[in-house]
């Protein structure tokens, strides 16, 4: 069996060689000629998969190590009886941790307390649900919007979008869809931003085209938004440089790029491929994840604001400002280099581990029993392991 795989999928050769011969190819170089005699194709978002790529190929199974799959012509794939699998939320925790890191950084920048602030989560799938859980764990009031889930479940906790417009924070976690009653293309348009509470703080980690770029820039210029955090952009990799200069935190579509999430996604696709081809799977996530750089972290609670403690812990594992600084280097580059640089930031992303790999040791826990209990619950709520000294 021949397997063509995006070379940027971690450990893909080591893993998939148990079921076939793996040819690792840069995602942008996966062409009809490359896949013509392949049985299995493994891609990321940079490779559009449609009739133009597959019509003359022998591909029988397509896997994408992404949660969204708007780069896949699913109707064509299924119409040709080709097996298909996506990550199914394997990187959901990675994105949720990114949002928590962004919330804490913005709160520090603007001297805000997150406790009792309201956050509207638009799209409550695998990612949105985890964001909601972590936001609630730090004491935020969470409001949910997901029209398909409301129709399917009848649960009134899924509010009409208009009931989220008065939230202090809004974060988008929808798929990208172009038609139907739940179309999300340019969901965040001029009317959307005009409807938000003055001073709202806006996050987008879903898909770039869910937001209308010019409408967002107008909302920032007009002072309607206090802060903006963007991980996704219209027209990637040729992102809007003016918008990058305007946002508080901008990153190159890497919210879901923790090593834990990427390996979990690869294993999800691997197991689906094994099932499809009728072979035994030999690996799991633990087969490839190395020991984390920070196994234990000691925190001292004496005379420290609990939100500062959360930020200190998070930054020891993931400093979102470093990703922001890396992307801003693009501003000084020539136009011809910008797109390639954006792609390289994603392709060569450094190892980032998730919070659950680190056990936090709390010092001075007897000094402030009530406060220490509260902060330990918040640390656990966003994913850390806890130990008393």
* 56 contacts: CB under 8 Å, gap ≥ 6: 32, 36
Catalytic residue among 236, 272, 306, 354: 236
Q: E-assigned strands of 72-189? A: 83-85, 118-122, 141-145, 169-172
Catalytic residue among 207, 209, 262, 346: 207
Q: Which two tokens stand for residue 71?
A: 């780069």
181 — phi, psi (to 5°)? -65, -25
Whether 71 sits among the annotated catalytic residues: the reply is no
Whether 271 sits among the annotated catalytic residues: the reply is no
Cα 35 from Cα 276, distance rounded (Å): 19
CA nearest to 103, candidates 228, 14, 2, 276: 228
Alpha-carbon distances of 90 from 229, 349, 355, rounded to whole Å: 22, 18, 15
No. of helices (H) and no. of strands (E), the chain: 15, 14
3-state SS, 290-329, equals CCCCCCEEEEECCCCCHHHHHHHHHHHHCCHHHHHHHHHH
Helix axes 92-109 and 320-328, enclosed angle (nearest 10): 80
Catalytic residue among 130, 253, 262, 352: 253
CB 252 within 8 A of CB 98: no
CB 357 within 8 A of CB 295: yes
Active site members: 207, 236, 253
């Amino acid at each position: 069996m021949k397997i063509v795989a995006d070379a940027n999928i971690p450990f893909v050769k080591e893993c998939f060689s148990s079921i076939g011969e793996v040819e690792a190819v840069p995602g942008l170089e996966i062409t009809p000629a490359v896949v013509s005699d392949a049985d299995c194709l493994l891609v990321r978002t940079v490779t559009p998969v449609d009739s133009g790529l597959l019509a003359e190929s022998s591909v029988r199974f397509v896997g994408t190590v992404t949660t969204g799959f708007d780069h896949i012509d699913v109707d064509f794939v299924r119409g040709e009886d080709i097996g298909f699998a996506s990550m199914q939320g394997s990187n959901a925790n990675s994105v949720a941790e990114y949002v928590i890191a962004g919330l804490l950084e913005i709160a520090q920048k603007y001297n805000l307390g997150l406790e009792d602030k309201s956050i509207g989560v638009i799209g409550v799938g695998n990612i949105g649900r985890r964001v909601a859980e972590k936001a609630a764990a730090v004491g935020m009031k969470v409001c949910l919007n997901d029209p398909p889930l409301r129709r399917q479940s009848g649960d009134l906790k899924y509010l009409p979008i208009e009931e989220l417009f008065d939230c202090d924070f809004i974060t988008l976690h929808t798929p990208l869809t172009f038609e139907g009653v739940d179309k999300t293309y340019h969901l965040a348009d001029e009317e959307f931003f005009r409807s938000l509470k003055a001073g709202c703080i806006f996050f987008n980690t879903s898909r770039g085209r869910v937001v209308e770029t010019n409408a967002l820039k107008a909302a920032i210029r007009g002072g309607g938004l206090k802060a903006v955090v963007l991980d996704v952009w219209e027209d990637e990799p040729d992102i809007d440089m003016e918008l990058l200069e305007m946002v508080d935190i901008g990153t190159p579509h890497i919210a879901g790029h923790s090593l834990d999430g990427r390996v979990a996604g690869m294993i999800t696709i691997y197991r689906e491929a094994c099932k499809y081809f009728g072979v035994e799977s030999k690996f799991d996530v633990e087969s490839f994840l190395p020991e984390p750089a920070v196994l234990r972290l000691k925190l001292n609670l004496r005379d420290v604001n609990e939100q500062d403690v959360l930020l200190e812990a998070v930054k020891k594992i993931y400093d979102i400002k470093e990703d922001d600084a890396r992307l801003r280097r693009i501003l000084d580059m020539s136009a011809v280099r910008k797109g390639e640089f954006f792609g390289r930031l994603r392709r060569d992303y450094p190892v980032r581990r998730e919070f659950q790999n680190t056990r936090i040791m709390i010092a001075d826990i007897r000094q402030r029993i009530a406060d220490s209990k509260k902060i330990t619950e918040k640390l656990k709520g966003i994913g850390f392991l806890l130990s008393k000294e």
